[in-house]
Amino acid sequence: MSKNPKEALPFTLPVFEKKSSLSSKAVEELRAAIITGLMQPGEVYTVPRLAAMLGISATPVREAMLSLAKEGLMEAQRNVGFRVVELTDDELDEITEIRLLLEVPAIEKLTSMCDAELADKIEKDFRHVAQDLVKYAHKGDLISFIEVDRHFHLGILGLLGNTRLVNLAGELRAQSRLYGLRHLADIGDLEQSAQEHELLLNYITSGNVTQAVDLMLRHIMHVRRIWAGNEEPVNFEARSTLSLLEGQMKPLSAMSKTMFEKSDLGLTRLRKQS
């Protein structure tokens, strides 16, 4: 629910170099701050304040805030600033369920089609990105971690050549809330979690479909478990996500079905209809 408009408590954003589009870079920085909880849900932020923190003028920051409003991450507060949109647990569950339906089969397909030429491209384009994620996790640089993590996963999906898939996955990732990352970084566990990216590359490039699919499912489930600050698995209904799809779309492969059933995710809409 909305609060009386007031400017939120200060936090730290890295000042970035003035290169490429300042508004695009501001979008990345602020999106990451929202996802990690540095910009708090329900709080109002002013353009001048954020511009000063980023070390740039107000114009690109205002453009960035408007872009984030279009993404559904912020709401304009007339004559005040922009409020970070709050998401319910049910909404976050739904986002995670859709990501499972999109990204796990995509990784299965990519791994199954990965020949020597594609494996070489993946090593060249993404191995250093995976290593950067471990570095940022070790440093506790959450803003850079989120930005690079987004680049890694959307880049991997982009190898399938489906622009709509990449765009939709990007929108869903932007709506995730990973408020547990700071704690994981503080206790040293985020670095271990970040190492999953290199392991995923190993499975994809070696054509190990079973391991790649299993790891991708577990990786996405971090979003509603330890990365979200939940110590125990979220108590989803036992119904399979696949029950919603019966008779409505082409069946997933037997392997993907097994992976989704293991996730024990049930769609909120099914719960409400029961």
Task: Evaluate whether residue 163 is within a structural domain.
Answer: yes
Q: Does residue 237 share a domain with residue 191?
A: yes
pLDDT greater than 90 at residue 265: no
- Interval 93-121 mean pLDDT: 94
Residue 195: its pLDDT value, please?
92
Q: Between residues 217 and 255, which one has the greater pLDDT?
A: 217
How far, in Å, CA of 230 to CA of 267, rounded? 19
Say if 185 falls within a structural domain.
Answer: yes
Q: Are residues 79 and 93 in the same domain?
A: no
pLDDT tens-digit map of 171-188: 888 888 777 677 777 777
Q: Which residues contact 191 (CB under 8 A, 6 or more apart)?
A: 134, 137, 138, 185
What integer best gives the mean pLDDT of the chain?
78
Same domain, 192 and 69: no
Neighbours of 160 (CB within 10 A): 14
Q: Is the pLDDT of residue 210 over 90?
A: yes
Place of tokens 């000042």: 15
How far is 32 from 181, CA to CA, in rounded Å? 12
Would you tell me the crossing angle of helices 89-112 and 209-221 to the nearest 10 degrees? 160
β-pairing, 74-77 vs 81-84, is antiparallel
Residue 14 has pLDDT above 60, yes or no: no
Question: According to the model, what pLDDT value does residue 120 have?
Answer: 97
Q: Domain range holding 187? A: 89-273
Q: Dihedral of the CA atoms 152, 158, 164, 165 (nearest 10)?
A: -60
pLDDT at 94 over 70: yes
Pair (119, 209) in one structural domain: yes
Tell me, what's the pLDDT at 228?
58
Q: What is the pLDDT, as a whole number, of residue 19? A: 43
Q: How far apart are CA 120 and CA 205, in angstroms?
A: 8
Quote the CA–CA distance of 152 and 29 in Å, as a whole number.
16
Residues 152, 61 within the same domain: no
In a domain, 4, yes or no: no
pLDDT digit string (tens) for 148-160? 999 999 999 999 9
pLDDT at residue 8, rounded to an integer:
53
CATH code for the domain in which residue 73 is found: 1.10.10.10
**Residue 182: which residues within 8 A CB-CB, separation 6 or more?**
36, 37, 140, 142
